[in-house]
Chains A and B, each alone.
Chain A
Amino acid sequence: SPKIGDSDSIKVFVRVRPLTRDTGLTTDGDQSLCLSVTSPNTIRLCHCHLCLMWKPTQFLIGLLSCSGQTGSGKTFTMLGPSELDNFTDNLRGVIPRSFEYLFFLINREVERICFSNEFGTCSPSPTLQQSPQSKSFLCKCSFIEIYNEQIYDLLDTASASLFLRENIKKGVFVEGVVEKFVSSAAEAYQVLSMGWRNRRVASTSMNRESSRSHAVFTMTLESKETINEVVNIRMSQLNLVDLAGSERQKDTHTEGSRLKEASSINRSLMCLGQVIMALVDVSNGKNRHICYRDSKLTFLLRDSLGGNAKTYIIANVHPGSKCFGETLSTLHFAQRAKLIKNKAVINEDTQGNVK
């Protein structure tokens, strides 16, 4: 089973939800558990652990994502107990904790500078905490949902589906997405819970299944530092992703040898392209183009899958033997995720090597 990686760009954690009395999933007895704890590395997950790895003062694109079947405790891991408005609860999830930690770091940084700057006075405004001479932070949040390869803004439910675009300076971004400025962990959490509520409303009114959609909460942190009139701007980004229930991912690449079926209704062999794609050899160094883009999610998170990003995936599994199939597929997913790397093939001119 997957373990915490060492040098990999993606670290995978497995969290086994405890058995609870009130869910229908857990009626089987203790003997039938399909997972047992062999060493702490294989199961335990420490929330604070993850948050500590992010330093907002340096550039980093962080990605924290959660995968697992429906009912395996993804939402619990990410948010904590449902209907939780007061996020000081002991059981609060990774997201509220990372907000707290982030603002703890920001405030510490701002205070440190204020303190050392004897002439200046701090004037924390709602959106911008600025000390006269040196450092200010700006934090923005957006929250989107990807369902059926369409992007919806969870902070503006009235908007139609949005497009992904790229900019030479900004990288990949969602065009026209609502960005809310926040200045404290509580505000950030408010934005999050608003989006989360909208997600539930949208899923019932528009026949979107939340178990088949991915939700991406993005925090962008901009730090502006002025040293001797030289302005230094750094951008960091933290993506918190709630992946679709992995048992329903038959339509993505996770399905192994299953055949893609033809839907006779629209006389379309939709996936023939994917079959051919798999035949096109990458290994022999030939230059080729594939007409089928990656999924929206992978394109959006491309920066997070290699290069200078830190990525953590929490695979959630249910310990019951009833869920054996799903648990296995989640663990397989986690194992594959560890192997994901964004590679840059260097086209080396072999001539002139040694001339």
Chain B
Amino acid sequence: MASFNSNEWRAICDKFTNAQNLTETESRKDPENDPFRSKYKARDLLREIYCSLKSFEAGEGEEDSSGESGDQRPTEEPVDGQREDVFGQGFSGDSPAGLRAARLGAVEYYLGVNHVDTEELSAGQEHLMNCMKLLERCRVSSQNVSLFIHVRNQLGILWAGRDETETAQGFLETAESIYQRYMKEDGSPPTDMTEYFTTEENLLTHQERTKRFELAYTHTMYYLAQVYKNLGQTERAATYCHTTLQRQLQLNQFTPMEWALNAATLSQYYITKGRYMEGRHCLSAATVISDLAGEVPSEAAAQESEAESERREHLRQKRAEIARCWIKYCLNLLQDARKQLEDNIGELDTDRQDELKMARRREEEEEEKGRKSALLFGSEDTFDSIASIEEKVMCLFPLDFTEARSVFLVGQNYVTQAKDFFQMDGYVTDHIEILQDHSALFRALAFFEEDMERRCKMHKRRVDMLETICNDLNAQYYLLIRRQLMFELAETYNEMMDLKLTLANRQADTQSLDNHTIKKFNHLCSASAKYFQMFLDSLCSPEGKYPEHLEEEVLRPALVARFRVARLHSRFISSSPTVQLDNLNKSLENYKYVVQYCEAHPEAEAAVETELELSKEMVGLLPLKINRLKARMASNN
């Protein structure tokens, strides 16, 4: 830079530092009625720098012609696309001309960002495109590659903001491929854009250069994740989220708790896709990284200072959140395994069980390969700890009770952890959600239990954990949760009733059930009916009127509840004909409701196909039964 004397150059550097400072620090303190004051000041400084550089260029008198011809080209479509030729053509980025272009480009870049920040988007776009044009004349080199990527990141953000996601995608994907090709072909720590305007003695270290460059590319990944999300390409988006996280970890550019929560959330994506190996990996990494956030301050320490108390609350809550993601992992794994193993009446299909066990043995060898192709997290320090957490729970579907129990126990352990923070007093909703998961874990485990008596006890545990809460909850504020609980309790009692009957029939081997069993059976039956009825009553208006039209979300549950109540009433065991008659009438009434509702609202039919069919049948049959009973009662009298 021969023509600048060192004083002139120093003045430019100072202006630049000043502009950076105004943009990043001062602008946060700007008053509400003048929100962009500092940014406007920064803009003026950048313009001055631009003029100085430009006049210097004019003085040099070279390369101007190529600049002019560049400007005269027709304005291009602002689509970047895959332009790989940036490595092949133009003059070298390291040449004086290349450096000059990069410097001017950088000022255009900062002006562009400044205009975007101050909500002058089209002006911002123009500056950023000027930067692109200046760079077009240069080959990618360690001098300018960082700017190549930054300007595309910004254009990506700009176009996505205008709902032109494909345009944004073009810029960002080019940035991605430029990075990759540069790393393959050169890979030396590139100049950071701020270094264009620093004096010799303030140049960055290689380490700092690498860090900044990699961060810019991490941002590219992060923006691409969002672009793919907006385009509906969820799988691709998830991969880019994963890459972003992995890069943050490797380059040590993350805050541990935030990272851990992101990884835990990503695990939930994988489990909804049934990809348990990846889900487990994310969760194990989340657990390991969350420990890097440090020890939870003790209760005593929390009482001493407010800061410690806040930190304690924060760390405990986030860990509890991760525990809850683990619960969902265990729960879904059990539930999916169940789906694989159940026969058409919901019992364990032993043939299928053997078949799957065989298949698993075959797959075990293949697993190793699959493992390697999957995306993994880890830096040198964390890799082993992550792997050791993974070992504690399986990621293949459990196929028998022992395996299911081991998954269940891990889940239950996380339930205890999560409840420790999300206590009933203070976190009612969260606490109950955890209890609901605990109940669901028991339900999934019960499927694998062959001993009916013990299975029944598991369901009893579910009732015990939910029943009191359901009755204690304020019915006004927790209407929706209570509906869920009532329905679940009703179903649990229903299930217990079925188990009792199967057991009794097995033992007695005759129709004659003893009094104790009958009493027990009727108790379960009425408990189930009671909760279904409570659920139905909760749908009533404040004046106590049952709705004529059922809302979409409650349509199926409400009709199913009616149907179940009908069945339950027909199943009560009683020797008294009057009670029998009463029950049958109630049953008929509820079956009729289902049929009549569907007649009046044909759109409801699809939601309750099987139930409707059976209800219709029963509406035909029950009156006969009732009449026969009536006749018998009359003749007895």
Q: Taking beta carbons and an 8 Å cutoff, which residues of A are in contact with B?
A: 7, 58-61, 165-172, 209, 211, 235, 256-262, 264-270, 272-273, 275-281, 284, 286-292, 303, 306-308, 341-355
Q: CB < 8 Å: which of B258, B271, B554 contacts A288?
A: B271
Contact of B480 among A170, A268, A342 (CB under 8 A): A342
B418's nearest neighbour on chain A, judged by CB, is A289
Contacts of A235 in B (CB 8 A): 476
A277 to B238, CA, bound (A): 10
Min CB distance A269 to B, Å, is 5
> Contact at A290–B473, with CB atoms within 8 Å?
no
Name the distance in Å between A1's Cβ and chain B's nearest Cβ. Answer: 20
Are B476 and A170 within 8 A (Cβ)?
A: no
Task: Say whether A258 contacts B480, CB under 8 Å.
Answer: no
Q: Using Cβ atoms and an 8 Å threshold, which residues of chain A touch B455?
A: none
Complex Cα–Cα for A171 and B254 (A): 37
From known contacts A275-B237, A349-B495, infer whether A343 and B553 are also in contact, taking CB-CB under 8 Å. Answer: yes
Cα distance, A308 to B487, chains bound together (Å): 19
Chain B interface (Cβ < 8 Å from any Cβ of A): 24, 32, 156-157, 160-161, 163, 165, 168, 215, 218-219, 222-223, 225-227, 229-230, 234, 237-238, 241, 244-245, 248, 253-255, 258, 261-262, 264-266, 268-269, 271-273, 318, 321-322, 324-325, 327-328, 331-332, 335, 342, 345-346, 424-429, 436-437, 440, 443, 469, 472-474, 476-481, 483-484, 487-488, 491, 494-495, 498, 542-543, 549, 553-554, 556-557, 560, 610-611, 614
Among the listed B238, B321, B440, B477, which residue makes an inter-chain contact with A287, where contact means beta carbons less than 8 Å apart? B440
Contacts of A209 in B (CB 8 A): 32
Q: Is the CB of B491 within 8 A of A280?
A: no
Given A235-B476, A344-B483: A287 in contact with B331 (beta carbons within 8 A): yes
Chain A to chain B contacts (Cβ below 8 Å), 27 pairs:
A59-B542, A61-B476, A168-B424, A168-B469, A168-B478, A171-B476, A257-B165, A264-B215, A275-B226, A276-B241, A276-B262, A276-B265, A279-B234, A280-B272, A281-B272, A286-B332, A287-B332, A288-B332, A344-B481, A344-B483, A344-B553, A344-B554, A345-B484, A349-B443, A351-B346, A354-B610, A354-B614
Q: Once the chains are docked, how many angstroms separate the CA of A108 from the CA of B424? A: 40
| Residues on A with beta carbons closer than 8 Å to the beta carbon of B266 | 276
Known: A289-B321, A344-B480, A349-B495. A166 touches B229 (CB 8 A): no
Contact status A269-B163, CB under 8 Å: no
Choose among A259, A268, A343 the residue that contacts B258 (Cβ–Cβ < 8 A): A268
The 5 A-B residue pairs with the shortest CB-CB distance in the complex, in nearest-first order: A171-B477, A351-B346, A344-B480, A166-B428, A346-B557
The answer for the CA separation of A264 and B149 in the assembled complex, in Å, is: 15
Contact A291 B264 (CB under 8 A): yes
In the complex, chain A residues whose CB is within 8 Å of the CB of B494: 349, 352
A272 and B428 in contact (CB under 8 A), knowing A349-B495, A353-B611?
no
The answer on a CB contact under 8 Å between B553 and A259 is no
Q: Are A348 and B321 in contact (CB under 8 A)?
A: no
Chain B residue nearest in CB terms to A171: B477
**A346–B536 CA distance with the chains assembled, in angstroms:** 13
Q: Which residues of B contact A171 (CB under 8 A)?
A: 428, 474, 476-478
> Chain A contacts of B318 at CB under 8 A?
291
Q: How far is the CB of B261 from chain A (nearest CB, A)?
A: 5
Q: Would B222 and A166 count as touching, CB distance under 8 A? A: no
A60, A172, A287 — which one has the most chain B CB atoms within 10 A of its CB?
A: A287
Residue among B542, B543, B610 with max Cβ neighbours from chain A (10 Å): B542
Alpha-carbon gap, A281 to B265, bound state (A): 12
Residues of B close to A350: CB separation below 8 A: 346
- With A166-B428, A262-B223 known, 7 other A-B pairs at CB within 8 A are A259-B223, A264-B215, A275-B229, A289-B268, A303-B476, A343-B480, A344-B480
Q: Who on chain A is nearest to B321 by CB?
A: A291
Q: Which residue of A lies closest to B342 (CB)?
A: A351
Contacting residues, chain A, for B429 (C-beta < 8 A): 166
Least Cβ–Cβ distance between B563 and chain A, in angstroms: 8
- In the assembled complex, the Cα of A289 lies from the Cα of B226 at a distance in Å of 21
A23–B67 Cα distance when bound, in Å, is 48
Contact A292 B556, CB 8 Å, known A167-B425, A211-B32, A352-B498: no
- For the complex, what is the distance from the CA of A59 to the CA of B476, rounded to whole Å? 8
Q: Distance (Å) between the CB of B250 and the closest chain A CB? A: 14
Taking A257-B160, A343-B553, A346-B557 as contacts, is the C-beta distance between A286 and B271 under 8 angstroms? yes
Residues of B within 8 A of A59 (CB): 476, 542
Q: How close is B635's CB to chain A, nearest CB, in angstroms?
A: 34
Residues of A near B268 (CB, < 8 A) are 276, 280, 288-290
Minimum C-beta distance from B333 to chain A (A): 11
Identity of the chain B residue whose Cβ is nearest the Cβ of A284 in the assembled complex = B272
Q: For A211, what are the chain B residues with a Cβ–Cβ distance below 8 Å?
A: 32
Cβ–Cβ < 8 Å partners of A266 in chain B: 255
Q: Is the CB of B321 within 8 A of A259?
A: no
Query: Chain A interface secondary structure, helix, strand, loop or mixed?
Result: loop
Q: Which residues of B contact A280 (CB under 8 A)?
A: 265, 268-269, 272
Partner of A262, one of B222, B272, B480, B487: B222
Max chain A CB contacts within 10 Å: which of B156, B266, B327?
Answer: B266
- A170 contact from B253, B271, B321, B477, Cβ within 8 A: B477
Residue of A nearest to B241 (CB): A276
CB distance B269 to A289 under 8 Å? no
Query: Contacting A60 at CB < 8 Å: which of B222, B269, B542?
Result: B542
Q: Which residues on the B side are within 8 Å of A268 (C-beta)? A: 254-255, 258
Q: B262: shortest Cβ distance to chain A, in Å?
A: 5
Given A276-B269, A280-B265, A291-B264, the answer on whether A259 and B157 have CB atoms closer than 8 Å is yes
In the complex, what distance in Å separates the CA atom of A235 from the CA atom of B156? 52
A170 touches B474 (CB 8 A): yes
| List of B residues within 8 angstroms of A172 by Cβ | 477
B contact residues around A346 at 8 Å (CB): 483-484, 487, 554, 556-557
Q: Are B265 and A277 in contact (CB under 8 A)?
A: yes
Contacts of B273 in A (CB 8 A): 281
Interchain CB contact under 8 A, B222 and A348 = no
Shortest Cβ gap from A167 to chain B (Å): 7
Nearest A residue to B563 by beta-carbon distance? A353
Q: Tell me the minimal C-beta distance from B317 to chain A in angstroms.
A: 9
Instruction: For the complex formed, measure the closest distance between the CB of A9 and the CB atoms of chain B, giving whole angstroms.
Output: 9
Once the chains are docked, how many angstroms separate the CA of A48 from the CA of B273?
Answer: 51
- Contact A347:B254 (CB < 8 A) given known A259-B157, A269-B248: no
> What A residues does B487 contact at CB under 8 A?
346-348
Query: In the complex the two chains form, is B560's CB within 8 Å of A347's CB?
Result: no
A347 touches B244 (CB 8 A): no
B616 to chain A, nearest CB (A): 13
A residues less than 8 Å from B553 (CB atoms): 341, 343-345
A168 touches B428 (CB 8 A): yes
Cα–Cα distance between A261 and B264 once the two chains are bound (Å): 21
Give bound CA distance, A211 to B32, whole Å.
Answer: 9
In-complex Cβ contact of A279 among B269, B271, B542 (8 A): B269
A347 contacts B248, C-beta separation under 8 Å: no
The listed residue (B168, B469, B477) touching A259 by CB distance below 8 A is: B168
In the complex the two chains form, is B241's CB within 8 Å of A257's CB? no
Which residues of the partner chain A approach B440 to less than 8 Å between Cβ atoms? Answer: 287, 347
Minimal Cβ-Cβ distance residue in A for B326: A289
From A259, A270, A281, A345, residue with most partner B Cβ within 10 Å: A259
A273 B261 Cβ-Cβ under 8 A = yes
Give A62 Cβ to nearest chain B Cβ, in Å: 13
**Inter-subunit contact A288/B426 (CB<8 Å):** no
Cα–Cα, bound, A284→B261 (Å): 23
Residue of chain A at shortest CB distance from B154: A261
Which residues of chain B come closer than 8 Å to A167, judged between CB atoms? 425-426, 428
- How long is the Cα–Cα vector from A58 to B227 in the complex, in angstroms? 49
On whether A259 and B322 interact (CB within 8 A), knowing A286-B332, A353-B611, A354-B614, the answer reads: no
CB pair A287 B437 closer than 8 Å? yes
Q: Cβ of B269 and Cβ of A352 under 8 Å apart?
A: no
- How far apart are A207's CB and chain B's nearest CB, in angstroms? 8
Known contacts A276-B269, A352-B495: does B542 contact A58 (CB below 8 Å)? yes
